[in-house]
């Protein structure tokens, strides 16, 4: 299990946790799941903490079939599709909308199977992708 910023969440059976990205200073958490079963695709799930319970408030399949890492920068959620079995992975920029949906802003191919991203540089204007 990969986790962003040391966040690990135990979730009920039915989907596998791939990674999680905290939203500060909020009660929201974004989680990616790997697909289970033939023809399935992974999801980006938005969870909200309600007292001591995590509730699913939104789902998105706009990060490819194998979303493996999330990085938040302001109101953008960067997500990489590990793309198992393919020559290239994908990097997605998703807008964090007011209704918590994640519409895609842009996408691009990466080398190998990307598994991590980080914002860097002057004013956080760079994004490094590791495979």
- 45 has pLDDT over 90: yes
Between strands 53-60 and 43-50, the pairing is: antiparallel
Question: Is the separation of the CB atoms in 21 and 68 below 8 Å?
Answer: no
Domain residue extents for the chain:
16-118
End-to-end CA, the chain: 16
Give 5-27 pLDDT, tens digit per residue.
333 333 333 344 455 555 445 78
Give 82-118 pLDDT, tens digit per residue.
888 778 899 999 999 999 999 999 999 988 788 888 8
Predicted pLDDT of residue 28: 85
Q: How much is the pTM?
A: 0.76
53-56: Cβ within 8 A, 24+ apart: 54/9, 54/11, 54/29
């Amino acid at each position: 299990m990969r986790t962003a910023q040391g966040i690990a969440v135990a979730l009920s059976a039915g989907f596998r946790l791939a990674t999680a990205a905290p939203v500060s200073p909020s009660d929201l958490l974004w989680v990616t799941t790997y697909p289970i079963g033939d023809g399935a695709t992974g999801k980006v799930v938005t969870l909200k903490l309600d007292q001591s319970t995590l509730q699913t408030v939104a789902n998105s399949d706009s990060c490819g079939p194998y979303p493996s890492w999330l990085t938040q920068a302001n109101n953008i959620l960067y997500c990489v599709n590990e793309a198992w079995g393919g020559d290239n992975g994908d990097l997605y920029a998703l807008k964090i909308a007011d209704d918590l949906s994640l519409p895609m802003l842009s996408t691009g191919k990466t080398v190998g199977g990307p598994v991590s991203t980080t914002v860097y540089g002057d004013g956080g204007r760079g994004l490094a992708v590791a495979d």
